[in-house]
Structure 1
Amino acid sequence: MSGPAYVHNIEAIERVRQALAAFAHQADEGLTEVGAECRRLLDWLEHDRPRYWKRQVQLAWDQVEVAKKELHRCLMFPIADERPSCTEQRAALKKAQAHLIYCQEKAERLKGWCREVRHELYEYEGRISQLKSYAEIDVVQSMAVLSRILDRIQEYQSLGSPSAVPKLDVSSLLEEEVQTDGDQEPADSDTKAETDTKTESE
């Protein structure tokens, strides 16, 4: 920070704190919704679609068998001692066989799609982990710092003249907040050391 900033109105700080709260809420909702959609997509690919295409392959096989029987029946009854062309039945069999191949290919490709989607979801989760950490940790910590600063400002103002808004060195407040946060860790360490000493003596 290049120099001290003096506060004449705490409303701006409160607006920033509220904006951070709104961002954290919206980010959490958005990431939760996207995560749920991704899980639904993967579930659809891994469970719904395999059942669907397995059923389609079975139906396609049935259609091929029906078409074969129709062609065989047509060939069994010559017309005027001549072998019938059975053009319609042959076309129906060819169409049924093509549809069977299509369904089999879809069922096989589905396995690759599932692998690709799982990989992409893994990559996506890695990319958004930093954003989630920022929204869940950094933003919350920033809001806590702003709340403490607002409390300090209000305490400072309560000591001043009611008719005037005092100037406050925010730089000093921030330094005090950092020092306060830093001083808390050794206290915890000292407490732990005392606990360990008591445990050893026992």
Structure 2
Amino acid sequence: MEIMAMEMQKVDAWIQQERPQYWTREVRRGFDKIAETRVALNRCEMRTVAGQRSACIEEKQAFAAAKRRLELCQEQIKNVRRWAMKLGHEENEFRGRLSGLRRCVESDLPKAIALLEQTATVLEAYAELPPPETEG
């Protein structure tokens, strides 16, 4: 039971602390990447080759990819918040059930064992009684 509680704490720390920190860092990196790719795109759009502006296809693709990545990271932050709330609810349910199981193992089970031992002792004592005398 303690192992289950420890595993729940690990999952809780992962969802409540590690994942939000990770995705927050990724959002910052995403903004940096957008700024970097926007500068590269602007530079490309300003460049002319033989009087013609470049199509800047690679730069546009990189900028679009950076925007998609940022959107994904922002969505993951929302998902992690939602998961954290759901996990909190499930964790409360788990702890309630674990408490009932712990009570059974620590209290009810020893009481039942003691009752069975007492019953066995009474039955053994009864079995040792001499049979009743019969008239006859």
- Matched residue of 1:96: which SS? helix
- Matched residue of 2:52: which SS? coil
> Alpha carbon RMSD of aligned pairs, Å?
2.2
Shift of 1:59: 1.0
1:121 to 55, 76, 91: 91
Structure 2 length-normalised TM: 0.83
- State which drifts further: 140-149 or 58-67: 140-149
What is residue 135 of structure 1 aligned with on the other side?
105
Identity, % of aligned pairs? Answer: 27
Gaps of 5+ in 1: 1-30, 157-165, 170-202
Which amino acid letter does the alignment assign opposite residue 63 of structure 1? K
Which amino acid letter does the alignment assign opposite residue 80 of structure 1? A
1:63 to 13, 33, 36: 33
Shift of 1:101: 0.4
For the pair 1:76 / 2:36, whether they are aligned, the reply is no
CA–CA distance in 2 between the matches of 1:64 and 1:116? 32
CA–CA distance in 1 between the matches of 2:72 and 2:33? 13
> After the TM superposition, which residues 150-189 of structure 1 pair with which residues of structure 2 at under 5 Å, given as runs?
156=125, 167=127
- Matched residue of 2:50: which SS? coil
**Greater C-alpha Rg:** 1
Shift of 1:128: 3.7
Structure 1 length-normalised TM: 0.58
Shift of 1:98: 0.4
What is the number of residues matched between the two proteins? 129
What is residue 103 of structure 1 aligned with on the other side?
73
Shift of 1:88: 0.7
- State which drifts further: 126-135 or 40-49: 126-135
Shift of 1:151: 5.8
Which amino acid letter does the alignment assign opposite residue 58 of structure 1? R
